[in-house]
Amino acid sequence: MSTRSPHLPALPPELAAEQLADRMGIQILEVSRERVVGTMPVAGNKQPFGLLHGGASGVLVESLGSTAAAQHTLPERFPVGLELACTHHRSATEGLVTGVATPIHVGRSTSTFEVVITDEQGRRTCTGRLTCMHLDRRPGPAPA
One-character DSSP codes across 61-122:
HHHHHHHHHHHHHTTTSEEEEEEEEEEE-S---SSEEEEEEEEEEE-SSEEEEEEEEE-TTS
Integer Cα distance of 77 and 80 in angstroms: 10
Residue 62 annotated among the catalytic residues of the structure: yes
Q: Which of 30, 62, 83, 120 is catalytic?
A: 62
Helices and strands: H and E segment counts in the chain: 3, 6
Q: Which residues are catalytic?
A: 62
